[in-house]
Amino acid sequence: MQNSESNQSAFSSDTASGNGATSGAESTKVARPRKSRATGPRTPQGKERSKRNALKHAIFSQVALLKGESRAEYHALLNGFRESLQPEGELEEWLIEKLALCAWRQRRLIIAETAEIRRATEFLACEANQQQTERSNNISEYSIRYEGGLIRRIANSEALDRCLELLKELRDEIEDNGFAVKSDAEILTKLYGEPSREKWQRTLFDLYETWWATAECSEEERQQHGYATPEKCKENFLEELDGEIKRLERYKKTRASMEAEKTKVEALRQHVPLTPQFHNLLRYEASLERNFDRTLSQLERLQRMRLGQPVLPKLEVQHSLS
């Protein structure tokens, strides 16, 4: 009997101690702080932004952008349209993307237009120099010798520079060594072509022949006809030669001034270049404007229908370049 009572008291004490341990564990668990779960945006602005979180990539963004174009700029444009026009549903979203794509193409169009104007204005001088070089390369030895020489082609800047070089070379030779018919004639032939009796205008070549022949006269002829001395003949021809050099240098200066003014005026004119490429850009611009207007009209009609507002009559906008 005593054993039974002692067993029951032991069992009771064990049970009490067990319950106490369990209660302590439970109290420990309750005491631990629980992590708060995200409940999503609560403000109207946050909800408005979050409802498009799934739209990470626009439908057209994978194909609309060219190499070198900024995806961030394109999406900033697209999100700007979304904020302004507040689309609802996939159809309105699709129209928003069409509007953004039209605007992006307009951006490309302006870049292309700027490039076309730059090409027409900034490279005028380069193209003119290239044309001058091509014309210089087409000058043949035959035309130089038998068609008036380089002096007939001084409208070409390279030919003009070559004429001045040859004249200065001739002057140095005569200044140092006097008349040397063979070498002097080679230079003068390049400048004025072969001498001819049929020319109606005298050239420096003709003057050279006159002064050289006078310098070669005998002393008796000189005394009889009062001809100038060889030294004086040389001085007289050098004066004529200096006059020709000055004439060409004045022509070069005047021509450079005229060419600079012409290039300036041409550059201003090319700010609206009348080229086939520029005409194509204008046609493309008109097409983009039609597409934008039509898409915006479709979006407005859809939104009015969704909001239960009266739908305006469909407006057709006609663009023409004529």
* pLDDT greater than 90 at residue 12: no
Residue 125 CB: number of other CB atoms within 10 A? Answer: 13
* Domain spans of the chain, in order of start: 61-122+275-307, 139-269
Tokens 């204008």 label which residue? 282
Alpha-helical regions (H) of 53-193 = 61-64, 71-85, 89-122, 124-137, 141-146, 157-177, 181-192
Residue 147 carries which DSSP code? T
Virtual torsion, Cα 156, 162, 163, 165, nearest 10 deg: 150
Q: What is the pTM of this model?
A: 0.53
Asked whether the beta carbons of 299 and 97 are under 8 A apart, the reply is no
Query: Cα separations (Å) of 118 from 111, 114, 268, 269, 271?
Result: 10, 6, 11, 12, 8
Mean confidence (pLDDT) of the chain: 80
Asked whether the beta carbons of 299 and 100 are under 8 A apart, the reply is no
Residue 150 carries which DSSP code? G
Closest CA to 206 of 228, 185, 175: 185
* pLDDT tens column, 187-244: 999 999 987 666 667 899 999 999 999 999 999 998 898 999 999 999 999 999 999 9
In this structure, what token pair is assigned to residue 159? 């030919």
Assign 3-state DSSP to the chain and report helix, strand, coil percentages, each to 5.
75, 0, 25
pLDDT at 1: 42
Tokens 């072509």 label which residue? 193
Least confident among 132-141, 199-208, 289-298:
132-141
What amino acid occupies position 75? H
Angle ∠(227,195,203) on CA atoms, nearest 5: 65
Q: What SS3 string covers 61-100?
A: HHHHCCCCCCHHHHHHHHHHHHHHHCCCHHHHHHHHHHHH
Angle ∠(219,223,229) on CA atoms, nearest 5: 60
Greater pLDDT, 145 or 72:
72
Query: Cα separations (Å) of 193 from 31, 166, 172, 203?
Result: 114, 13, 21, 10
* pLDDT tens column, 141-151: 767 877 889 99
